[in-house]
Amino acid sequence: MAKVTLEVDDTAFQQQLTQLIKITEDDLIDDMVEKYRNTTPRSGPPPAGTPTGGNAKKKTVRRRNSVVGNYAYAGVLDDGLFPRNPKGGYGKTQGGYSKQAPKGMATPTIAYVQKQFAKYVKKIWK
């Protein structure tokens, strides 16, 4: 029986993979945080004498390679856990979700990131 040896030069592939990892760790995560923050609902005008609204948007930050909603009610916003009749907020919710973010923030952000990742892959592996 004959012995066959196959050698593959994967230098180009390794360079492309390194490039994809760098893009993913830098640009894609920044895009993800921006999308999540932009999808986060902003409360209406605050009562007189209080700071401007938008606490959730302001406190949505990047921590290492993830998005962090650094406020107590992040899960309520994202998971649609508002009560059917919130106090003083009639008309702001539907089915437990904010009308500004009817699918929460994570679901649209994940869909966006998947599309962006596919674009980056296509760009690198032309």
Q: How is the chain split among helix, strand and coil, in percent rounded to 5?
A: 45, 10, 45
Average pLDDT taken over every residue of the chain: 82
Distance CA 89, CA 10 (A): 59
Distance CA 27, CA 116 (A): 10
pLDDT at 57: 86
- How deeply is 62 buried, as exposed, middle or buried, from its count of CB atoms within 10 A (0-12, 13-18, 19+)? middle
DSSP code, position 90: T
pLDDT at 45: 55
- Phi/psi at 105 (nearest 5 deg)? -110, -35
pLDDT at 115: 92
pLDDT band at 109, cuts 50/70/90? very high
pLDDT above 60: residue 27: yes
Of residues 53 and 10, more confidence is placed in 10
- For the chain, the domains span 59-126
Q: How many Cβ atoms are within 10 Å of 105's Cβ, its own excluded? A: 25
Of residues 46 and 40, more confidence is placed in 40
| Highest averaged pLDDT of the listed ranges 45-49, 61-65, 82-86, 109-113 | 109-113
pTM value is 0.72
In this predicted model, what pLDDT tens digit does every residue of 49-67 receive, in sequence order? 555 567 888 888 888 888 8
pLDDT at 83: 73
Q: How many Cβ atoms are within 10 Å of 16's Cβ, its own excluded? A: 15
Distance CA 19, CA 124 (A): 8
pLDDT above 90: residue 73: no
